[in-house]
Structure 1
């Protein structure tokens, strides 16, 4: 089974193409650190909730969309090692990040079922 690093973040709709380009440029870096897949998803049917929701989680503002993405790793050790090494990588430090990182959330997940 694999290990997933998941992300949820708001992105201004005017920055959609910029976000896609940033994702394209980041893939070779993530792949070089051992990721086996990168999946980026632009919210198109993300309703507001009464108690919880994706928009509430990222404090979505007018003119923004929710982006839900994840990286697939062979295992947790590979992901942990990659994140530690990326902290020192100038290519990561200089990457365009067209989103509000203060409202971004992420976490690591062990896959428990896959078909």
Structure 2
């Protein structure tokens, strides 16, 4: 398995818009080989003294922190999906319409999104 993780700040007023955006956009990842996509709306996100999720994405008072991940069967599948998305950025005419910012605008500030790819090293429970 391979995991892409994301943390973003989204205006609380845009929660429903985010859900619609995610349902449409996340289906692209599934079509590109993801096995699971999880979007989580902050519910118990504590403030730290040195660092925390809110600081990481510079969340404002009217925003909530979201924590999301995409599970891939392996890194090769993920890398192929990211190559396809890079191709779409370079030539938007070839892009999947679900990723079109005009048709599916991001209801949050994408400049404050943080993400990375991760190789699981410990896993308990679930279907292993």
TM bucket normalised to smaller: over 0.9
For residue 113 of structure 2, the aligned residue among 94, 98, 104 is 104
Report the aligned-residue RMSD. Answer: 1.1
Q: Displacement of 1:47 after TM fit?
A: 1.2
Larger radius of gyration: 2
Residue pairs, 1:64-103, within 5 angstroms? 64-87=63-86, 88=88, 89-91=95-97, 92-94=99-101, 95-103=104-112
Q: Distance in 2 between matches of 1:28 and 1:54?
A: 26
Q: Distance in 2 between matches of 1:110 and 1:6?
A: 11
Q: Distance in 2 between matches of 1:90 and 1:37?
A: 19
Q: Deviations over 1:33-70 (max 9, x none)?
A: 00000000000111111101001101110110000000
Q: Distance in 1 between matches of 2:77 and 2:32?
A: 8
Partner of 2:27: 28
TM-score using structure 2 length: 0.84
Partner of 1:9: 8
